[in-house]
Chain A
Amino acid sequence: MKDLSCDFLEIGGQKLKSRLFLGTGKFSSNRLIPEAVKASGAQVVTVALRRVDPGFEEENIASYVPKECILMPNTSGARNAAEAVRIARLAREAGCGNWVKIEVITDNRYLLPDNYETIKATEILASEGFVVLPYVSPDLTVARKLVEAGAAAVMPLGAPIGSNRGLRTKELVRILVEEIPLPVIVDAGLGRPSEAAEAMEMGVAAVLVNTAIATAGDPVAMARAFGLAVEAGRLAYLAGPGEVVEYARASSPLTGFLREE
């Protein structure tokens, strides 16, 4: 029987056991973050970089992330490649490794990424030794250019950030899974554990979840639920789902019926 004991996701020279990446935004209290990380099993945790407001006592979010996790700063706030590169370099100087999630957004309503600027930023940062995970709209040509640019993974959105609308881009993500020789990670939009499982069942390498967990009634329980769903979906993918057909195919034998005549 297949199991997950020898199933690892390799990115940037790291072998990851967990295929659930966790974002740290929107938690009602920072104290929930280490509990959610633990309950989810996540080994990759995202953070953002912002200006310090000296008048306001803020805590460094990184201190709430368990030390054994890989911290993946995002470049949120960047409106072009140059700004993304600038943020990534600053984040690396903070001393938490060289992973970065590229996020370049100019659209304020749907927060859809600028794929063109994202490719440019990926190329520059990959050449500087970053492990680059770009957040993009799912597009095969763009994903191929990201492979050429040296990305470590491709992260297509499932639905707009924070929308909890699920895997709306399924067909396009499926094409990326089939065609792209890098881990494809669904980032943004997954709202329910079943949607995470759905993505994993079709061979997605991992999912990144933030809002669905952070804004749940019980974020720690939801973190656990997503962790289980991701494992279930992954195992189902490895097990090989059966064929989908148009009409019924009886599961019980069609002979030996007890009948009147």
Chain B
Amino acid sequence: MKLLVNGRSEEFPKEGATVLELLQHKGILPQTVVVELNGTVLKRDCWGEALLKEGDRVEILRFVGGG
């Protein structure tokens, strides 16, 4: 299925994957990031159940240095 991840269109091999699976697929440690799905903040404890579908917009963010 096609997803829009951090503004980039990507093909994810598995249909109906969870957000947690997407993070694992990308090699991102879940505890270091926050996730927004289609413009809404996704609570951390929902990542294992939140199913992704074709065309979903996913934002994955982390803290960086800033003033």
Chain A positions within 8 Å of B67 at CB level: 23-26, 46, 48, 74, 76, 161-162, 188, 208, 210-211
Inter-chain contact B62/A52, CB cutoff 8 Å: yes
Q: Which of B1-52 contact A (CB under 8 A)?
A: 6-7, 26-28, 32-34, 36, 39, 41-44
- Give Cα distance in the complex from A35 to B65, angstroms: 15
Number of residues of chain A lying within 8 A (CB) of chain B: 40
Given A51-B59, A52-B28, CB of A95 within 8 Å of CB of B44: yes
Given A23-B66, A89-B41, A93-B44, CB of A50 within 8 Å of CB of B26: no
Out of A26, A71, A93, name the residue touching B65 (CB < 8 Å).
Answer: A26
- Give Cα distance in the complex from A30 to B65, angstroms: 8
- Give Cα distance in the complex from A48 to B66, angstroms: 5
| A188 nearest in chain B by CB position | B67
Bitwise interface map of A from 42 to 59 toward B, beta carbon under 8 Å scored 1, else 0? 000011111111100010
Inter-chain contact B63/A94, CB cutoff 8 Å: yes
Inter-chain contact A25/B65, CB cutoff 8 Å: yes
- Give Cα distance in the complex from A89 to B36, angstroms: 10
| A95 nearest in chain B by CB position | B44
Q: Which of A76-95 contact B (CB under 8 A)?
A: 76, 86, 89-91, 93-95
Chain A positions within 8 Å of B60 at CB level: 51-52
Inter-chain contact B41/A90, CB cutoff 8 Å: yes
Bitwise interface map of A from 188 to 206 toward B, beta carbon under 8 Å scored 1, else 0? 1000000000000000000
| A27 nearest in chain B by CB position | B65
Inter-chain contact B33/A52, CB cutoff 8 Å: yes
Inter-chain contact A52/B65, CB cutoff 8 Å: no
Inter-chain contact B63/A48, CB cutoff 8 Å: yes
Out of B7, B28, B34, B39, name the residue touching A93 (CB < 8 Å).
Answer: B34
Closest-CB distance, B44 to chain A (whole angstroms): 7
Known: A25-B66, A188-B67. 14 other contacts (CB 8 A): A23-B65, A24-B67, A48-B65, A48-B66, A50-B61, A51-B6, A52-B33, A52-B60, A74-B67, A86-B39, A93-B43, A94-B34, A161-B67, A210-B67
Q: Can you list 20 A-B pairs with a CB-CB distance of less than 8 A?
A: A25-B64, A26-B65, A48-B63, A48-B64, A48-B65, A49-B62, A50-B62, A51-B59, A52-B62, A61-B64, A61-B65, A63-B32, A73-B63, A74-B66, A90-B41, A91-B63, A93-B41, A94-B33, A94-B34, A188-B67
Q: Which A residues lie at the B interface, using CB under 8 A?
A: 23-27, 30, 33, 46-54, 58, 60-63, 71, 73-74, 76, 86, 89-91, 93-96, 161-162, 188, 208, 210-211, 214
